[in-house]
Amino acid sequence: MHIMLKIDDIDRRILSELQRHADAPLEELGRRVGLSRNACWRRIKMLEEAGVIRARVALLDPGALDLGLTVFILVRTRSHNPDWLEAFARATRSMPEILGAYRMTGDLDYLIRARVKDVAAYDTLYRRLISKLEMSDVSASFVMEELKETTELPL
């Protein structure tokens, strides 16, 4: 549910703090943003109800879970119809290795971001993907070094 909500500076400070420390106690969060515990809680509830805060999650270390390879998969297709798009969306949502799938402008039709153990695991993902959909061209680029990786939105 998305309710139109005017976000003020205090809301932005709350959101910034929650992006970095979602598990912070309300007393500490309130102190950091200059509100009482209860006022802070009311604002957080309002932001959740408005759909601004979608979820609070734990960020995991991919290397510690043996998922050290990030791959960007570039997809081109000859089929540009709603049925193919829905099949593509369904296929990408069903594969937990795929962290993001995006319809693009320009020469590239779709971009997929995935996390896998290694190149062999990518090949397994690739084979599962092409078994589900007809695509005219699929290529991949492997990340050699992550220079910046964040979930924080600029507020």
Per the document, the length of the chain is 155
Q: What is the pLDDT of residue 80?
A: 87
Terminal CA-to-CA distance of the chain, rounded, Å? 21
Neighbours of 40 (CB within 10 A): 22
The CA R_g of the chain, rounded to the nearest whole Å, is: 20
Residue 70 forms beta bridges with which residues? 115
Q: What is the pTM of this model?
A: 0.87
**Which CATH number does the domain housing residue 33 bear?**
1.10.10
φ/ψ (deg, to 5) at 106: 85, -155
Look at the chain and report how many structural domains it folds into. 2
Q: What is the structure's pLDDT at 1?
A: 56
Residue 55 counted as domain residue:
no
**Structural domain span for residue 67:** 63-142
Looking up residue 131, the CATH number of its domain turns out to be 3.30.70.920
**Domain co-membership, 74 together with 37:** no
72 and 38, same domain (yes or no): no
Cα–Cα distance between 139 and 24 in angstroms, integer?
42
Helical H segments across 1-135, by residue range: 9-20, 26-33, 37-49, 82-93, 119-132
Query: Is residue 109 within 8 Å of 103, Cβ to Cβ?
Result: yes
Strands 110-116 and 69-76: antiparallel
Note the Cα 88 to chain centre separation in Å: 17
Task: Check whether residue 70 and residue 124 sit in a common domain.
Answer: yes
pLDDT of residue 5: 83
Position 4 confidence tier, pLDDT thresholds 50, 70, 90: confident
Res. 72: pLDDT tops 80: yes
Mean pLDDT to the nearest integer, 62-87: 95
